[in-house]
Chains A and B, each alone.
Chain A
């Protein structure tokens, strides 16, 4: 899952980056409003962590513009403003969640996961398709009630495909959601991971649409 963190406090941004990376998010960081707007236009993020008081373009404006453009990306406000009026205003502008600073990283991670689940229309941590169950809280995949050992990338690809099951997911979309801006990847890496997934889960789960991408049938 790819997340954009908009935070001008460099130390905090770096900590968030490391912490979210360890929680298996692909993280991009924007230090000001203009950079954030550019990145939001470029990449389809699974979630956005937004500080309201960032230079050049305030978080309020970013949020408003994002929602006006019709984007449904879940937005979590992470801010030092903790007045009720600020929370109400942010939520009414289209924010999905509001976490005042200081915060616990574990809570931020849990809230982000919940936001991503809800945005895909399924708040349950369990995704079930065919004989496969994904526990998204524990990040464990079961095949016929037996845990399957997956790498982080394999898990991320499987989770993405299952989350969007019934629709085609292109290789570049997979790259976009699995890798952050900083990682340099070729889309054929995805093919390698998918092949490995098929070996572990059986070949029938993930279908290939030649020249386009992959699909998990509902």
Chain B
């Protein structure tokens, strides 16, 4: 493919160059012929004028001709091309000619191999001066040959040069295609060596490298997700299988069967939770265009969520307060409820007895962005874990999370939903003091009137 591109490039190049060389050579040859013949014509015209001046009409329609010496030597020189003249009377009768064996058409210039000029002299006579131009034509042919040779030489040289240059210019394409092939063959770490980023191909290469990077990241993420999913499912499956095998290994007492079934049920529940959360995550990440986006009053959603979570908060002795301005965003109320539920649930679960959760909404003026801050007085998150809290299946403390029934997906789901709404969620935390999750969402309208804080 690359070779044919190279051939095509060179062929086009050669074609254009041929046209240029032909036009240029033609112009040179034509111009040279024009100037040579013009010189001959001027010379002939000069002598014709001399002849015409020297021609004197005498009695009876006859003429007397006395050529000046220079003109005479021009017409009657001994060697070389011998020019000639012919004089006709008004009636077309031949008056005189410089050589006896001349065949000339009357006033004509059509004799091949010759150049002739005629003009009117006194008393209606016509003077024609001509000469053979075979030498001129020969010189012209030599010129044509030279131009042709030079043209061909130029063409050959430039085709070779063009081939070389095209090869050099296209060499990066081979590297690019090699890298792309390696990539498609499964080597996700294949990259194109980029030497000159300022060239067009260099830019193509770095663009492709960026695309490769994103592809690799996507594949890595997918791989990690698959590994995580398999781990999440493997543990309950192991429990289920081992317990069932143990129970079936021999005859058991009803008590033992009961116990075994209870263990199996727990494992099945855990699997169900894991699958539910994973599906929720996949749903949240999929850009669902079929669903209609509605104006959603965030305060109503937050009130719903906090009301729904109130029993859990009470059980743990955690106070939940809501404050701030009303915000309206365009979105899917169900999804937003799910996302906020996950974040607020976390704030309640990872809290201390007698602690608090404060949900504050505010508008960042002039940016069309609304912020929801969820601040807790909980255990906090170690600094090194903060960048990972939104990662799928990441748990700050796996043992504690399991005790609380966490799947490690809640915040991932929340983030996916906020991102799908054109927003984002970030986290800041201090160990032992608490964490604050900040959600930024594009808003439709807002009312500056401050809501009175409500406590649940």
Per-position binary interface string of chain A over residues 126-147, scored 1 when its CB falls under 8 Å from any chain B CB and 0 otherwise: 0000000000000000000000
Which residue of B231, B241, B266 contacts A80 across the interface (Cβ within 8 Å)?
A: B231
Q: Is the interface of B mostly helix, strand, loop or mixed?
A: helix
B window 251-272: CB within 8 A of A: 263, 266-267
Which residue of the partner chain A has the closest CB to B398?
A55
What is the 8 Å Cβ interface bit string for chain B, positions 196-218, against chain A (1 contact, 0 not)? 00000000000000000000000
Give, as a whole number of angstroms, the nearest-CB distance from A17 to chain B. Answer: 10
Answer whether A101 and B246 are a contact pair too, CB < 8 Å, given A15-B263, A32-B399: no
Collect the chain B residues with CB atoms within 8 Å of residue A8's CB: 399
A-B contact pairs, 6 of them (CB 8 A): A11-B263, A22-B249, A101-B235, A102-B238, A102-B241, A105-B242
Contacts of B250 in A (CB 8 A): 22
A216 to B234, CA, bound (A): 45
Contact of B243 with A by CB under 8 A: yes
- Identify A103's interface contact among B238, B263, B399, CB under 8 A: B238
B144: A residues at CB distance < 8 A: none
Residue pairs across A and B with CB atoms within 8 Å: the count is: 64
Q: Judge if B227 is at the interface, Cβ distance under 8 Å.
A: yes
Among B231, B235, B245, B397, the most chain A Cβ lie within 10 Å of the Cβ of B235
User: Is A9's beta carbon under 8 Å from chain B?
Assistant: yes
B230 at the binding interface (Cβ < 8 Å):
yes
Interface set of B (CB-CB < 8 Å, partner A): 227, 230-231, 234-235, 237-243, 245-246, 249-250, 263, 266-267, 397-399
What is the CA–CA distance of A11 and B262 in the complex, to the nearest angstrom? 10
Inter-subunit contact A80/B242 (CB<8 Å): no
Are A82 and B230 in touch, CB under 8 angstroms?
yes
| Candidate in B238, B239, B398 with the most chain A CB atoms within 10 angstroms | B238
Taking a contact as CB atoms closer than 8 A, the residue among B227, B234, B239, B398 that contacts A11 in the complex is: B239
Cβ contacts under 8 Å, B239 to chain A: 9, 11-12, 15
User: Is the Cβ of A15 less than 8 Å from the Cβ of B242?
Assistant: yes
Residue of B nearest to A55 (CB): B399
Q: How far is the CB of A109 from chain B (nearest CB, A)?
A: 10
Chain A residues near B266 (CB-CB < 8 A)? 11
Given A11-B267, A55-B398: A80 and B238 interface contact (C-beta under 8 Å): yes
**Distance of B187 from chain A, by nearest CB (Å):** 17
Q: Is the CB of B399 within 8 A of A12?
A: no
Give the docked Cα–Cα distance between A135 and B55 (Å).
149
Nearest chain B residue, comparing its CB with the CB of A20: B246
Q: Return A112 CB to nearest CB of chain B, in Å.
A: 14
For residue A18, which residues in chain B have a CB less than 8 angstroms away from its CB?
246
Would you give the shortest CB distance from A146 to chain B, in whole angstroms?
27
The complex places the Cα of A22 from the Cα of B250 at a distance, in Å, of 10
The CA-CA distance from A19 to B235 in the complex, in Å, is 17
A19 and B249: CB pair below 8 A? yes
Secondary structure of the A contact surface, majority rule: loop
Q: Is the CB of B234 within 8 A of A102?
A: yes
Kindly state the separation between the CA atoms of A208 and B243 in the bound complex, as whole angstroms. 42
Q: Decide if A16 touches B242 in the complex (CB within 8 Å).
A: yes
Partner of A104, one of B235, B237, B240, B241: B241
Q: How far is the CA of A104 from the CA of B237 in the complex (A)?
A: 11
- Is A83 an interface position by the 8 A CB rule? yes
Residues of B within 8 A of A9 (CB): 235, 238-239
A32, closest chain B residue (CB): B399
Tell me if A101 and B237 are in contact (CB < 8 A). Answer: yes
A residues in contact with B397, CB < 8 Å: 55
Question: A104's closest neighbor in chain B, by CB?
Answer: B245
B397 CB → nearest A CB, Å = 8
Q: Judge whether A105 and B245 touch: CB under 8 Å.
A: yes
Kindly state the separation between the CA atoms of A102 and B234 in the bound complex, as whole angstroms: 6
Measured CB to CB, the closest approach of chain B to A181, in angstroms, equals 21
> With A80-B231, A81-B231, A82-B230 given, is the CB distance from A11 to B399 under 8 Å?
no
Residues of chain A from 78 to 96 with CB closer than 8 A to chain B in the complex? 80-83
Which chain B positions have C-beta within 8 A of A83? 227
Residues of A within 8 A of B238 (CB): 9, 12, 80, 101-103
What's the minimum C-beta distance from A99 to chain B, rounded to whole angstroms?
A: 10
Counting CB contacts under 8 A, is A160 at the interface? no
Q: Which residues of B contact A56 (CB under 8 A)?
A: 399
Determine whether A172 belongs to the interface, using a CB cutoff of 8 Å to chain B: no
Closest B residue to A86 using CB positions: B227
Closest CB of chain B to A100's CB: distance in Å?
8
Chain A: CB-nearest residue to B266: A11
Bound CA–CA A12/B235 (angstroms): 8
A106 part of interface (Cβ distance < 8 Å): yes
Chain B CB within 10 Å — which of A9, A19, A53, A102 has the most? A102
Q: Complex Cα distance A102/B237, Å? A: 6
What's the least CB distance linking A80 to chain B, in Å?
Answer: 4
User: CA–CA, A82 to B231, complex, Å?
Assistant: 9
Q: State the CA gap A14–B242 with chains docked (Å).
A: 10
Chain A: minimal CB distance from B169 (Å): 43
